[in-house]
Amino acid sequence: MKKIETTNAPAAIGPYSQGFVVGNIAFFSGQIPVDPATGEMPEGIEAQAEQSCKNVMALLEAAGLTAENVVKTTCFLADIADFATFNAVYAKYFTSRPARSCVAVKDLPKGALCEIEAIAEVG
């Protein structure tokens, strides 16, 4: 088991890790749209979806992977009305179209509008 850590994605805000590689599978914690350089979140679902995707890409890069390695994502939205806008941004990053669940939830950490977690194949 190998822990994945990078300063190019937000640090964990609780008792968890950014990710782990176990065998040939990488598991990444959900990424809210916090800019790791500033600790701030942009306004609006489009900008927040963009930042969440960038954070996932930073974790993948830290593990030596790309979006092409992703086999499953789970996406959380604070408002299902944002689904179409979120999808438009998500589609730019996950062009291989991994399996996905996308659900609306009551609240997300720090008042975020979206969160993305990923599972990827290593190798």
Active site residue 53: no
List 53, 75, 102, 114, catalytic entry: 102
Question: ∠33-38-41 over CA atoms, to 5°?
Answer: 30
What amino acid positions are annotated as catalytic residues? 102
